[in-house]
Amino acid sequence: MEELQSTGLLTDKQMETFRKLKETFATKLGQTTKGEVLKGYNIIPNFSVETTEYAYEKWSPREGDVFLVTFPKTGTHWVHEIVRQILYQDEEIYKLSKLLPAFLELPLPPCEVFDFLDELPLTRRILSTHMPAELINVEKLKHVNAKVIYVLRNPKDAIVSWYHFMQSLPADMVKDRQHMHSSGWDKYFEHVISGDYPMNSKPGEWYPEHILEWYKHKDYKNIRFLRYEDLKKDLQKEVLNLADFLEAPVSSETAETIAHKCTFDNMKEALSEEHAITKHINMRKGAVGGWKNFFTVAQSEQVDDIMREKLAATDIQFIYKI
């Protein structure tokens, strides 16, 4: 933070605001909270209905903004960093971008956080959200030609990743959900596919419904559906494709550099001790196909049937091995 201040990119007042927001977030994160409900959607605990509503009703995105939309554990942190590397190639601007809120719906005072966001000297902002399309003012995004990236990851690996994520959280943070994953994999699996977990979803719904809500906007010229597994197969190629979509083209050499920086192992290694919790909780393996170590044949077929039925009207195809 002191290094950022010395660049002259932020005023003393902006730095003080950031410090206060950071302290507020740390306090909120350490509290045991129950998930809230918004328009029938069970919101992930520690995400804020108040902030989500403020963003929908009162905040205005800008042309050039990038919205990264994901269901939990489908590659948010990875793709967020790839986009940051593409958009912020100036070192000082890249550092400044680290002050952007990690998620649109963080439990922060909405007026203060969005004023701070709007005052940052960034011509383009990237914001991530786990919210369904109904809780995001998509028409505002379309009006300003904002870019939307929706990351698709095969649901079997996503389910396993969420299982490990929940087990890694402190028990006092997940008191109301602990019974869903503490009794072992089989019980957890049933809770997930039954839509029992609060994942910004309605009761009885989970990942396929989240996909379908955003898929309704597939004809919007500035939305792109990006497969996690395609990034794993050829990261440099996908960096070039993403850069073109974002209208921030990069050379093959720059794409190669970004791809190297954004390999899973390099990103995990680059996280400082200050972000040890992020490293431990949000960056485990990032592999494709690990689901085979958990799923029974029957469970695998059950997920296949669910996805086949619910996504029948789409052209979405998942990749389960590479």
Catalytic center residues? 130
Q: Which structure tokens are listed for 42?
A: 């069970």
Q: Identify whether the C-beta of residue 321 lies closer than 8 Å to the C-beta of residue 288.
A: yes
How many angstroms separate the CA atoms of 278 and 159, rounded? Answer: 19
Reading the block at residue 90, the tokens are 């100036």
Question: DSSP assignment, residue 291?
Answer: G
Q: What type of residue sits at position 74?
A: T
What Cα–Cα distance (Å) separates residue 121 from each residue in 104, 116, 125, 178?
18, 10, 10, 42
In angstroms, rounded to a whole number, what is the distance separating the alpha carbons of residues 71 and 307? Answer: 15
Separation of alpha carbons 142 and 139, rounded Å: 5
- Helix 252-261 vs helix 235-245: angle between axes, to the nearest 10 degrees? 120
Amino acid, res. 196: D
The backbone torsions φ and ψ at residue 283, rounded to the nearest 5 degrees and listed phi first, read -130, 90
Element (H or E) spanning 174, and its range? none
> In this structure, what token pair is assigned to residue 182?
């503490």
CB neighbour class for 301 (10 Å; exposed up to 12, middle 13-18, buried from 19): exposed
